[in-house]
Amino acid sequence: MTVHELSRTDARRIAVRAQLLDATRPDGLLDVVRGLTLLQIDPIAAVAPNADLVAWSRLGSAYAPDELAAALEKRTLVELQAMVRPAEDLALYRAEMAEWPERGTPSSWREYHRTWVAANEACRRDILDRLGADGPLPSRELPDTCAEPWRSSGWTNNRNVTKLLELMVQRGEVAVAGRRGGDRLWDLADRVYPGTAPLPVEDALRLRDERRLRALGIARARGPECQVEPADVGEAGEPAVVEGVRGKWRVDPAQLGLPFEGRAALLSPFDRLVHDRKRMAELFAYEYQLEMYKPAAKRRWGYFALPVLYGDRLVGKLDAAADRKAGVLRVNALHEDEPFTKAMSAEIGRETEDLARWLELELVLPDRTGVSRRR
């Protein structure tokens, strides 16, 4: 098979177009989720919840967050391991759930998960019985009868029910049936998931690789093992090399040779265009780090700076925060990785205004003296 030779510009344009961030906007939320294969749920909402912010980056202020809630309620979209996915895609996961945790390369964390669930078999059954009788329920209303507590150096230490539920999701036994405020509501998976017949595991894994490559445009064939969503694509697509970048890639052949028209976009730090930081650096030569966990004095770009896309380049960071109590979207700084032209400034400015309009907040910008001014 021919190995496609791509310039970095080619590779970037393929990635941007595949991520639905070129000038042709998608038709609606369902088109976005099907095109991206997922929307990541994250509790951090310095500007807006991640799933909503990613959708807005593609659809603009025509997108209403109520659309996501409605789609989840109707089950045209479903939540699986903190990812919103098209309901029809569950057929690509159900067979693998039945084999848990046998798929993949054996590892210490897989073995610990297996033995820990086995040690708490009685608690697992207690949870299934309670959900069967009274679900959907928040985790705090489920029994913690674990014989062996969950051990972790992080925030999940001793959060036995929460961790057991997450592993029971991987086993295909329970599912998120909805949310009440910030709480997930749990129920038996058979009540939540559509009755789509699962595909055989090998077919499902191949199709997931193919769908992931269509969403990314270009990706590595192999990468580090990930517990939820890999960044690699196996043998999907066709082989490629990128000028100035070591190693081989896989490219979606449907993206080759297409015209490109870009636009400005403000991205979530968790956006899939930038989520794989290594790929981002290799293709876009872009430096970025989420600095919310750094002390304020050590931040270069801001607490939750939004990467700025212009055409096929990542050109800056927008340090902004939604202050809903004050009713404003406060822009602290716009960091330019390269000097912006008038055209760039104007288009990025319009996108920032659209963000404020979508949030239903007044836009507050810093002037050259550093004093905030309303717009």
* Sheet architecture: strand order including 183-188: 137-138, 183-188, 174-180
pTM summary value: 0.93
Backbone angle region of 7, left / alpha / beta, with phi > 0 → left and psi within -120 to 50 → alpha: beta
Query: What is the b/e burial string over 321-356, where b = at least 16 CB atoms within 10 angstroms of the residue's CB?
Result: ebeeeeebbbbbbbeebeebeeebeebbbebbebbb
DSSP conformational letter for 276: S
Distance, C-alpha 171 to centroid of its chain: 22
* Cis preceding-peptide flag for 101 (omega within 30 of 0): yes
What CA–CA distance (Å, rounded) separates 90 from 140?
27
Residue listed under structure tokens 């870009």: 262
pLDDT of the chain along its 375 residues, tens only? 799 999 999 999 999 999 999 999 999 999 999 999 999 999 899 999 999 999 999 999 999 999 999 999 999 999 999 999 999 999 999 998 988 876 655 677 788 899 999 999 999 999 999 999 999 999 999 999 999 999 987 788 889 999 999 999 999 999 999 998 879 999 999 999 988 788 999 999 999 999 999 999 999 999 887 778 999 999 999 999 999 999 999 999 999 999 999 999 999 999 999 999 999 999 999 999 999 999 999 999 999 999 999 999 999 999 999 999 999 999 999 999 999 999 999 999 999 999 999 999 999 998 754 445 566
Contacts of residue 303, defined as CB under 8 A and 6 or more positions apart, other chains included, come to: 46, 291, 292, 296, 319, 321
**What counts of helices (H) and strands (E) characterise the chain?**
13, 16
Distance, C-alpha 56 to centroid of its chain: 13
